[in-house]
Amino acid sequence: MNKITQVLFVCLGNTARSPAAEYLARYYARELHLDLKFDSCGFINAFHYMQPESRKYLEAKGIEHSDFVPKLLNRKLLERQDLVLTMEKSHSKEIISNYHNIKDINNKVFTLKEFNGEKNNLNIVDPYYTSDETYRNVLKIIDENVEKAIKKIKKLNES
C-alpha cells in the first residue's frame, strides 16, 4: 500500500457511524500531528444532518463538527482515496463489486475492524433505532477502532 493521505469512512446513511468516525479520525490525526484528509459518505441519503447521539458523543470529547454535510458514495469520491474504511463487510463487498474498475479498489477497501487486524466480527452495527446504551457502545467501538487505525496509518506511512 502506498502512503495513505486520504481516508474515506463509509456506512449506510452517513448520519451516525461514518460521520463520527470521520471527526474522530480528524481529532486523533491532529493529536499525532499527521497531515491526513478524512471524509465520510453513505449508500443512501438518510437525513441532512448527523444523528444527535453522534453529535453528543463528539461534543463530549470537545470535537467540533458543525461543518458536517452528509454525502452519497460516488465514483469520484472513491477515486480520490488511498484507504476506504467501511462499517460492515457488506459495504466493502458492495463497493468492490460496483466499482471494480477503479484502480486498486480491492487493495484499499476494508472494514474498520478488518484494517486493524480483526479476523472475526468485522461489522460495527448500525445503532439507529436502538437504545441509548447500544448507541454509546457502538460509538465507543468506533472511537477505539479509529484511534487504532490512525496509529496504524502513522506507522505504515513512516515505514
Q: Going from the N-terminus, what domains does the chain have, and what CATH number goes with each?
A: 6-158 (3.40.50.2300)
Q: What is the pLDDT along the chain (159 residues), one digit of tens a residue?
A: 679 999 999 999 999 999 999 999 999 999 999 999 999 999 998 788 899 999 999 999 999 999 999 999 999 999 999 999 999 999 999 999 999 999 999 999 999 999 999 999 999 999 988 888 999 999 999 999 999 999 999 999 998
**Pairing relation of β-strands 37-42 and 6-11?**
parallel
User: Residue with C-alpha cell 476506504?
Assistant: 84
CA distance readout (Å), 138 to 124, 132, 135: 7, 10, 5
- pTM, two decimals, is 0.96
